[in-house]
Amino acid sequence: MSETKTSASTIGRQIINKYPDVQSQPLEDNKIELIVPGEKIRDVITMIDELLDDALPESAFGIDLENDQYNLIYIFWSYTNRILLQLRVALEGEKPEIDSVCDIFPGFEWHEREAREMFGIEFRNHPDPRLLLLPDELDGAYPMRKRFKTDQSRLQETGIKPPKPRPKPGGEDK
Amino acid sequence: MSPDILEDAMELWFGPQHVSAHGWAAKLTLVGDYVVECDPNAGYFHRSAEKVLEFKNFRQGALVLERMCMLEAFLAEYPYVAAVEKLAEIEVPERAKIMRTIMMELSRLHSVQFWWGQFNAELGFFTMALWPWVDREYTLDAFEELTGSRHTVSYASPGGVKYDFTDKVLTQINRAVNRFEDRLPKFRDMQMGSPTFRARTKDIGLYDVKQGLKWGLSGPPIKACGVPMDLRKDDPDPNLAYDMVDWEVPIIENSEHPGQSDALDRMEQRFKEAEVAVEIIKQLLPQLPDSGPIINPKARGKANRLPEGEAYGRVEGARGITTLWLKTQEKAQTAYRAKIRGPCIASYYALKDLVPGAKFADFIVIFGSLDPYPGWWDR
């Protein structure tokens, strides 16, 4: 583990110096957000791996911003430096694509599988692009997208019978 | 591996019907007595909590969260409450901060007590399964006295806590803590002193800290490698009272394999975790003011509608870093996106690399020592 402590803004500056397309935005305390173009994600995450040797791949997930706009967020935590790094990648299109980073941080493998099945974000070169949580019949339905209906209209699609109406309190009238 | 070894290979599903596999199943490929491939499967416990949270208001949300992991219900619901408080900028009274911290450590104690029983039952060591579960009843009695519920406590509310500590609650907490302290030396003797148990766990499931961090492990599985990574020290939530206590992050430094941990280290780590939890409770109880508000009266109104923004609530759970990432829109009554990060998604994933090469009988030792709970990866 590295002894020399660094700060979130130093890490942010080092990354931006090498990749000027990246933008930064400080969050509270020792936390920083980097807005990374999709094609640079592997370079930036490789650099994080080199700069912070105790980087923990904490979380990675998608957000549906509607109208085919998506955000993909990666969160890293370094406990020796107490830095929280949040990377944000803006993606668009019906089937957005991005490079997989799970060979650099294996901890992201399942997070990527989940983002793929829930949001329809394709990860290029992912070693195991199976469904993680969903049953096979929801493959391609992308249930975490905002346009996925969760109301009664889903019943016709699935063939499940609608629930019986609740009995009135006090029993039924004879 | 060469293909001719795989000719004799047998595929075996461990779970979901197996009693140890409560809500998960791993496909093991066995050659003789050795596991050559492990494919942990997720999805048996999936209740789409993240989608459900998009339809629940900010006071209801915590109730969904605590059902992720009933063994650390309060630790599971807290990140949500913390994120809501950050977004709405709600102040929390001093007394509620202490109460929350005490409840958090009691939750941790309960989780460890349950884990002892479960792990030992899986290894066929039934005395050590039932004895901690007797003590666990005392902890649950304290929960019941305080909140009316033994597992899903739903104690925290944005702006404070829901119920005050009465004299009877304090008696119950003291009883649970004293009972634990009385029995701890016996447990330590019985567990760590047992040659059978040591033989089953020593050098099993060995990994080093760098590898563990790459998988995303946190909490006891990392602290057992001798690394003091603990959010209670590193990034404490401002509405908790850890700064009022003098304590050290519990770690295991094993001179036989520095920077690495095996199942025995992780077992010992759980003893220390529970000890430190009790130490924190005992230091906080005398500091609890006799009277004062337990909830910010403005919180209810503020949590009704949240401003647009993003917040990240984090807490050191009993199994590792537990977080909730929350995004809201202007005047939101419900979350736009809520992402739950459970600690066990990493420890269950780690089985894929950790188990191959181990004997089949050691599979459950490796699994149990990491303490994954299916609610955390399925959500």
pLDDT at A2 over 50: no
Are B377 and A53 within 8 A, CB to CB?
no
Alpha helices in B93-246 (DSSP H): 94-122, 126-147, 167-192, 195-201, 209-215, 220-223, 231-234
Closest CA of chain B from A104, distance in Å: 8
Are A56 and B48 within 8 A, CB to CB?
no
Q: How many domains does chain A have?
A: 1
- pLDDT tens for A34-56 read 898 888 899 999 988 988 888 89
- pLDDT tens for B116-154 read 888 888 888 888 888 889 989 999 999 999 998 888 888
Assigned domain for A98 exists: yes
- pLDDT tens for A83-99 read 889 999 999 888 899 99
Q: What is the domain extent for residue A103? A: 8-108
ipTM, two decimals = 0.86
pLDDT at B208 over 60: yes
Assigned domain for A15 exists: yes
Q: For residue B327, list its beta bridge partners.
A: B310, B337
Are A110 and B214 within 8 A, CB to CB?
no
Nearest CA in chain B to A55: B213
Residue with tokens 């969160």: A75
pTM score of the predicted model: 0.88
**Looking at residue A160, what is its pLDDT?**
67
Nearest CA in chain A to B222: A56
Task: Specify the pairing of strand B321-328 against strand B309-316.
Answer: antiparallel
Are A57 and B234 within 8 A, CB to CB?
no
Classify residue B341 as exposed, middle or buried by CB count within 10 Å of its CB (0-12, 13-18, 19+).
buried
H or E segment to which residue A18 belongs? helix A8-18
Q: What is the mean pLDDT of residues B352-364?
A: 89
Listed range (A4-18, B295-309, B362-376) with the worst mean pLDDT: A4-18
Interface test with A, best of B38, B87, B211, B235 (most A CBs within 10 A): B235
Assigned domain for A137 exists: no
Are A58 and B345 within 8 A, CB to CB?
no
Assigned domain for A155 exists: no
**Looking at residue B61, what is its pLDDT?**
87
Closest CA to B226 of B271, B274, B279, B266: B266
pLDDT at B67 over 90: no
Strand, helix or coil for residue B227: coil
Are B345 and A110 within 8 A, CB to CB?
yes
Omega before B40 cis (within 30°)? Answer: no
Q: For residue A131, which residues of chain B lie inside 8 Å, CB to CB?
A: 43
Interface test with A, best of B45, B86, B214 (most A CBs within 10 A): B214
More confident residue, B47 or B21: B47
Mean pLDDT of chain B: 88
Interface test with B, best of A27, A45, A103, A110 (most B CBs within 10 A): A110
Are A133 and B46 within 8 A, CB to CB?
yes
Are B51 and A79 within 8 A, CB to CB?
no
Nearest CA in chain A to B51: A144
**Looking at residue A94, what is its pLDDT?**
86
Q: For residue B219, which residues of chain A lie inside 8 Å, CB to CB?
A: none
Angle between helix B94-122 and helix B167-192 axes, rounded to 10 deg: 30
Q: What is the mean pLDDT of residues B72-80?
A: 90
Assigned domain for A169 exists: no
Interface test with B, best of A58, A80, A108 (most B CBs within 10 A): A58
Q: What is the domain extent for residue B107? A: 3-378
Assigned domain for A102 exists: yes
H or E segment to which residue A24 belongs? strand A23-26
pLDDT at B217 over 50: yes
Q: What is the mean pLDDT of residues B285-295?
A: 88
pLDDT at B213 over 50: yes
Q: How many domains does chain B have?
A: 1
Q: What is the mean pLDDT of residues B319-331?
A: 90
Assigned domain for A174 exists: no
Nearest CA in chain A to B346: A107
More confident residue, B310 or B3: B310
**Looking at residue A149, what is its pLDDT?**
76
Q: What is the mean pLDDT of residues A27-31?
A: 78
CB contacts < 8 A, A to B, total: 77
Residue A30: pLDDT band with limits 50, 70, 90: confident
For A112-173, give the DSSP string: HHHHHHHH--EEET-S----SSS-GGGTTT-TTSTTS--STHHHHHHTPPPPPPPPPTT---
Residue B194: pLDDT band with limits 50, 70, 90: confident
pLDDT at A174 over 60: no
Residue B106: pLDDT band with limits 50, 70, 90: very high
Closest CA of chain B from A121, distance in Å: 16
Q: For residue A83, list its beta bridge partners.
A: A78
Are A106 and B214 within 8 A, CB to CB?
yes
Strand, helix or coil for residue B238: coil
Q: What is the mean pLDDT of residues A65-92?
A: 90
CB B277 within 8 A of CB B316: no
Are B43 and A133 within 8 A, CB to CB?
yes
**For position B162, which CATH number holds?**
1.10.645.10
Residue B48: pLDDT band with limits 50, 70, 90: confident
**For position A89, which CATH number holds?**
3.30.460.80
Interface test with A, best of B233, B260, B326, B339 (most A CBs within 10 A): B339
Residue A1: pLDDT band with limits 50, 70, 90: very low
Q: For residue A150, which residues of chain B lie inside 8 Å, CB to CB?
A: 51, 55
Closest CA of chain A from B328, distance in Å: 11
Q: What is the mean pLDDT of residues B59-63?
A: 86
- pLDDT tens for A114-161 read 999 999 899 988 898 888 888 888 888 888 888 887 776 766 766 667
Q: What is the mean pLDDT of residues B364-379?
A: 87
pLDDT at A3 over 60: no
Nearest CA in chain A to B309: A27
**Looking at residue B243, what is its pLDDT?**
87
Q: For residue B306, list its beta bridge partners.
A: B332
For chain A, list residues whose CB is within 8 angstroms of any CB belonging to chain B. 1, 29, 53-59, 61, 63-64, 73, 75, 77, 79, 82, 84, 86, 105-111, 131-135, 143-144, 150
Assigned domain for A118 exists: no
Strand, helix or coil for residue A57: strand
Q: For residue A73, which residues of chain B lie inside 8 Å, CB to CB?
A: 325, 339
Residue A77: pLDDT band with limits 50, 70, 90: very high
Are B43 and A132 within 8 A, CB to CB?
yes
Q: For residue A111, which residues of chain B lie inside 8 Å, CB to CB?
A: 345
Ramachandran bin of A164, using left for φ above 0, alpha for ψ from -120 to 50, beta for the remaining angles = beta
Q: For residue A55, which residues of chain B lie inside 8 Å, CB to CB?
A: 213
C-alpha span between A72 and A62 (Å, rounded): 4
